[in-house]
Amino acid sequence: MLLTLATTMQAQTDWTGTWATAAEFTGPSDMPKASLASTSLREIIQVSFGGEQLSLHLSNEFSKEPVEIKSIYIADAKDSCDIDAKTATYVRFNKQKSVVIPAGGTVASDIIRYKLKPLQRLSITINYGPNVPQNATSHRGSRTTSYLAQGEVKPNKPFKTFERFEHWYNITKLNVLGTGNKAVAVLGNSITDGRGSTTNHQNRWPDFMAKALSQNEGSSLKGVLNLGIGGNCVIAGGLSEPALKRFDRDILGQQGVETLIIFQGTNDIGTSRNAEQTSRSLIEAYQTLIDKARNAGIKRIIGATITAFKGNGWYSPFHEAARQVVNEWIRTSGKFDAVIDFDLLTRDPNDRERLQQQYSEDWLHLNPAGYKAMGEEAARVVMGK
């Protein structure tokens, strides 16, 4: 359910996402130790491109109770939880600072006038009212620290943090109006979400891709939307809703997407009890997602091969055979407009089943060096070079 809380201008279609994350149900282990009720939550994001007319989207889709928000303001982020108070700008909903998002609902802000710079770190401070859900809607793998303080903290007051954690709550999208830029959306799991990257350093592979695209002056493709979820599967099982179920919301629900990268399947293969059947089902699922994306008007769909995982606990010859079958289909089926061969890029030249040691975090996830190589290769393919 979407609350229609937006100005007339927001009905325009010339919006493009500069940042997004996939919403999830929040279990007890991923909730703050303290309640969010009557607190101020300061969250940090890094955008991909800039603009001067923004819209912030929030979600309460996975919660069974409403969430009461007294106010929200954005500001240029400084070190830790500090902000540049001179840049602080309140976000409004139907011209009001406060908003209540019902259980299962989402909300988009009015247009925010703000000078957003490319690749900048933006602080979003949510001042919660006393009524909040027992289980929030969140994204578990923020890879950036969020900060919690008591009461409603104004922009020019010290933010006295009493708890910090690496999750985002309620925020899901930041869109920019009328720049002519377009976005690439990435469907993925923990390798895309950034497992193995450095907290607060913005060194996931989509971050490196965003940096490379921002330097490509001849292209309008500047937005990078990371819709990876740790532990996520394509078909069924895993953590959070599988890709087949969440695709309409997390990918087709984004604005201004011109290119889609599908880089997901290692969890389906690694946890499979029938690897041969899983490889067939994955290929069928990819075709379903490709068809959906084309029908929705996404112009370019790129497949990315599944990276090696020999040395990780779920490796077996049967799982490896399934990975090879799926990768061969990605490379040769002709269903994709282009292929990013992450497998070839990152595997050990002396053992095609294993990552290069210099890129490995745990023989499944990559480290920042590996993510840098992946991000730059992805940008090269996206730019058609």
Q: Distance between CA 314 and CA 276 in Å, rounded?
A: 15
Using the predicted structure, report yes or no on whether residue 377 has a pLDDT greater than 70. yes
Q: Distance between CA 214 and CA 222 in Å, rounded?
A: 6
How many helices (DSSP H) and strands (DSSP E) are in the chain?
A: 8, 23
- 197-246 tens-digit pLDDT: 999 999 999 999 999 999 998 889 999 999 999 999 999 999 999 999 99
| Global confidence as pTM | 0.95
- 28-54 tens-digit pLDDT: 999 999 999 999 999 999 999 999 999
Cα torsion at 50, 379, 79, 27 (round to 10°)?
100
Of 183, 375, 173, 378, whose CA–CA distance to 298 is shortest? 183
Average pLDDT (328-335) is: 98
Using the predicted structure, report yes or no on whether residue 9 has a pLDDT greater than 80. no
**CA distances, 310 to each of 307, 330, 349, 359 (Å):** 10, 20, 13, 13
- 95-143 tens-digit pLDDT: 999 999 999 999 999 999 999 999 999 999 999 999 999 999 999 999 9
User: How do 89-91 and 39-46 pair as beta strands?
Assistant: unpaired
pLDDT-derived band at 298 (thresholds 50, 70, 90) equals very high
Residue spans of beta strands (DSSP E) within 94-250: 99-101, 106-108, 112-116, 121-128, 137-139, 146-150, 161-165, 168-169, 171-177, 182-188, 221-228
Q: Distance between CA 166 and CA 148 in Å, rounded?
A: 11
Q: In degrees, to the nearest 5, what angle opens at C-alpha 62 toward C-alphas 60 and 68? A: 30
Q: Distance between CA 187 and CA 289 in Å, rounded?
A: 10
More confidently predicted of 12 and 367: 367
Q: Distance between CA 113 and CA 74 in Å, rounded?
A: 11
Q: Distance between CA 59 and CA 99 in Å, rounded?
A: 12
Q: Distance between CA 37 and CA 68 in Å, rounded?
A: 9
User: How do 99-101 and 137-139 pair as beta strands?
Assistant: unpaired
Q: Distance between CA 165 and CA 352 in Å, rounded?
A: 37
Of 125, 197, 111, whose CA–CA distance to 369 is shortest? 197
Using the predicted structure, report yes or no on whether residue 61 has a pLDDT greater than 50. yes
User: How do 112-116 and 121-128 pair as beta strands?
Assistant: unpaired
- 301-322 tens-digit pLDDT: 999 999 999 999 889 999 999 9
With beta carbons less than 8 A apart as the criterion, state whether 51 and 18 touch.
Answer: yes
First-to-last alpha carbon distance for the chain, in angstroms, is 41
Other C-beta atoms within 10 Å of 213: how many? 25
